[in-house]
Structure 1
């Protein structure tokens, strides 16, 4: 013998009394069995009652259609062989799977109700067939019954999972659309702000930071920023996050973002997190620890997330490729330079290009200029940064004036020199 129980029995031919018994049982017992199944589930299947999502009418309709379908499938299998899984005969099982998934009833509970139904039908078949079938006939009917119950359960589960996948896709699409609306400024509408607040679990009117990060997973971001309320998603290859501040000032959030990036607090103190972790490797997304992170300035509630996103984008353009944390307020000169490229180019041409033309000497002069500006115009403080003697710094400043024709004082770096140095760094980053 080969194939399923149905194929084996059809191949050798069913006994007439077995076929007639199944027809009779279908016609006379389907309604009573469905009522028994409803009563049994409501009495004994506590999970259905506790879940509280399946009404009596829905359960009764499902039991009636599925019991009838199982008995119909048994008769059809005897007469013509088991129906193809895609046939309409399995529609009641598929409908039950979709409805219960929509109601939120766990799949295990639904599968258990199908097993209860199979057991009730088997007990009834045994009682009804005791005087009509031989022992071997009952065993054949039992094998056929469980074959049918297994397939209907599989069809129900497939429909259940299909509905869940569809719901997940719908939820993802809805969240993606919500994020697009947020960065587009739609949350200036208080109604939408409240809707977004509920979906993202964020306070609607708290002050927030908008964060972009290259190389950080959303879950890692949310964990690192706790106990601030946060939400995050992917926008292209970047993490896009919103941080609702717990206090009026953003310093605690900034410290957490520095730790997430794996960089030092200004002044050399560690923010925690260490320099461990893999960073981006071959373009992969990592858990943080060596990442590029930027933030907006503090903006007023979800209604200003769009503004914050634009600020974070501007800060990102100014950020180095290496792991770094760049808040928007610390990058304002670079943001200005990037927004007016002809001014940036003019500053570089005045201060930087003549020194570059000197070759190695110019490189030394530029390094000394950068140290001098960092030191606030003090040759004494700039000397150890180079490193060299204070008088060497002064001599090099005089050489810069000689080459560029632009005067330098020993305590006041020109604003346009500072901007020129920044513009040169930006130009290298964007080459």
Structure 2
């Protein structure tokens, strides 16, 4: 599918042999055009050879035989030449559709990925050759040199009008084909993306096809993100993540917005790739969370990192579990590994209620004192059981913190120096939102890691 009518003019068309027929007496431009077209159609194969040679001489794309072979170029070039000459001469079109060759050229070249500018350039080369050959015919048939010049000028505008007409038809067909191809590619990408998230990529062929369609490696650094979707204002995280150097692909899914994000390559000690675990340990994950919070405002759960696209289905489930632990509409983004306790407790109101009752039941029964005690406990645990740092956060004296922690220890019958007690309190604080208790019972979440590390915190009764 080379270039439509323009190919008809592409350099290389040889003149038909035989004795020329005088045109001066043919009478009228219509008769002259018919005579020229008929004469050139009789030698259309040599005209095609000349056009193909010229196109290949002036285009590296066509000269390379990839993706357009010489045979392909010749076939469509000839078809375009025939149509252009028939139209120019007012002859009945072969097959009844004068623009068929132009549209076929545009469609096929779009499918082959030949740039439209390259195809249009070939059309121009074709038009030039077509005009050269036509001028040769005119000169051979005109009675005088001045008559030849006059005839050439008369015919030039009509030839190029024909070329322009078919160039437009070709370009329109090219653009339509491009849109159709893009639509098919998009449909395929979405289908393979859904296959990944549905866990159907255990088949290596599916994983490989998905990687190719999405344009990413089958093995790399990936996470799945599930974001709460406001129908009136979807989060559309891709632009924000792209600005941070992260590829991502997103689709609405079950009332949410699900995406696969490719993280930048990590370099650790010695300059070698490695795996980093732990809260906030990976700069790329921190950047991802910040972008989700600040640039999209969407509440989002992030899966643990995985290496193979075939693992995206499992990662989706973990990201969904993470999202379920976050307050709706809060605009918070969190990684699964940082919400382990909440994931275990969410959906288990009976267990959550029991944990709260065992570890903080007496505190919840204090009425007006409860909110201050729970807030102080959360700050104390989050700051490694340091009364001084908790006091800075709460804008109170450290002794106030120590007194409140002492009060909690007294109410619960547990020692604030006990690692087990601190872990129990941290779990209970995290269980509060899932325990089905009154909203006023809730308090700022305490870090589970703080509870686990409590035995290594500052020494002394109740912390420092």
Partner of residue 115 from structure 2, selected from 88, 106, 111: 106
Greater shift in the superposed pair: 151-160 or 299-308: 299-308
Q: Is the 8 A contact 1:397 1:408 kept in 2?
A: no
Give the equivalent residue in structure 2 for 1:332: 340
How many pairs does the alignment contain? 380
Per-residue CA deviations over 1:265-304 (Å, capped at 9, x if unaligned) read xxxxxxxxxxxx9944xxxx5xxxx876653224453332
Structure 1 residues 46-65: aligned runs within 5 Å: 46-50=60-64, 52-65=66-79
Does 2:190 match 1:184?
Answer: no
| In structure 1, C-alpha distance between the alignment counterparts of 2:408 and 2:239, rounded to whole Å | 51
Give the equivalent residue in structure 1 for 2:250: 234
Partner SS for 1:188: coil
Greater shift in the superposed pair: 239-248 or 169-178: 239-248
Structure 1 residues 25-104: aligned runs within 5 Å: 25-30=36-41, 31=44, 32-50=46-64, 52-76=66-90, 88-104=97-113
Q: Is the 8 A contact 2:345 2:351 kept in 1?
A: yes
Partner of residue 20 from structure 1, selected from 31, 39, 43: 31
Greater shift in the superposed pair: 23-32 or 125-134: 125-134
Structure 1 residues 11-410: aligned runs within 5 Å: 16-30=27-41, 31=44, 32-50=46-64, 52-76=66-90, 88-130=97-139, 131=141, 138-200=152-214, 202-205=216-219, 208-212=222-226, 217-218=237-238, 221=241, 224=244, 231-236=247-252, 237=257, 239-243=259-263, 246=266, 247-250=273-276, 254-262=282-290, 279-280=294-295, 294-299=301-306, 301-319=308-326, 326-344=334-352, 351=360, 355=364, 358-359=367-368, 361-375=369-383, 382-397=390-405, 406-410=412-416
Q: Is the 8 A contact 1:261 1:292 kept in 2?
A: no
Greater shift in the superposed pair: 295-304 or 343-352: 343-352
What's the C-alpha RMSD, in Å, of the aligned pairs?
Answer: 3.9
| In structure 1, C-alpha distance between the alignment counterparts of 2:89 and 2:263, rounded to whole Å | 62
CA spacing shift, 1:348–1:148, aligned 2, 3 Å: farther
Q: 1:187, CA displacement in angstroms? A: 2.3
| In structure 2, C-alpha distance between the alignment counterparts of 1:186 and 1:415, rounded to whole Å | 40
Q: 1:376, CA displacement in angstroms? A: 5.2
CA spacing shift, 1:325–1:258, aligned 2, 3 Å: farther
| In structure 2, C-alpha distance between the alignment counterparts of 1:19 and 1:391, rounded to whole Å | 107
Partner SS for 2:137: helix
| In structure 2, C-alpha distance between the alignment counterparts of 1:207 and 1:142, rounded to whole Å | 61
Q: Is the 8 A contact 1:216 1:239 kept in 2?
A: no
Per-residue CA deviations over 1:36-55 (Å, capped at 9, x if unaligned) read 21232233444420363222
Q: Is the 8 A contact 2:376 2:394 kept in 1?
A: yes
Partner SS for 2:367: coil
| In structure 1, C-alpha distance between the alignment counterparts of 2:281 and 2:214, rounded to whole Å | 19
Per-residue CA deviations over 1:369-403 (Å, capped at 9, x if unaligned) read 2223335556566444434445533543565578x
Q: 1:89, CA displacement in angstroms? A: 1.3
Q: Is the 8 A contact 1:383 1:389 kept in 2?
A: yes
Q: Is the 8 A contact 1:352 1:420 kept in 2?
A: no
| In structure 1, C-alpha distance between the alignment counterparts of 2:122 and 2:249, rounded to whole Å | 39
Q: Is the 8 A contact 1:206 1:300 kept in 2?
A: yes
Gaps of 5+ in 2: 1-25, 229-234, 267-272, 443-464
| In structure 1, C-alpha distance between the alignment counterparts of 2:362 and 2:40, rounded to whole Å | 96
Partner SS for 2:114: coil
Task: Tell me which of the two structures has the higher relative contact order, counting C-alpha pairs closer than 8 angstroms and 6 or more residues apart.
Answer: 2
CA spacing shift, 1:278–1:231, aligned 2, 3 Å: closer
CA spacing shift, 1:122–1:392, aligned 2, 3 Å: closer
Q: TM-score, normalised by structure 1?
A: 0.73
| In structure 2, C-alpha distance between the alignment counterparts of 1:375 and 1:107, rounded to whole Å | 63
Q: Is the 8 A contact 2:363 2:412 kept in 1?
A: no
| In structure 2, C-alpha distance between the alignment counterparts of 1:279 and 1:258, rounded to whole Å | 12
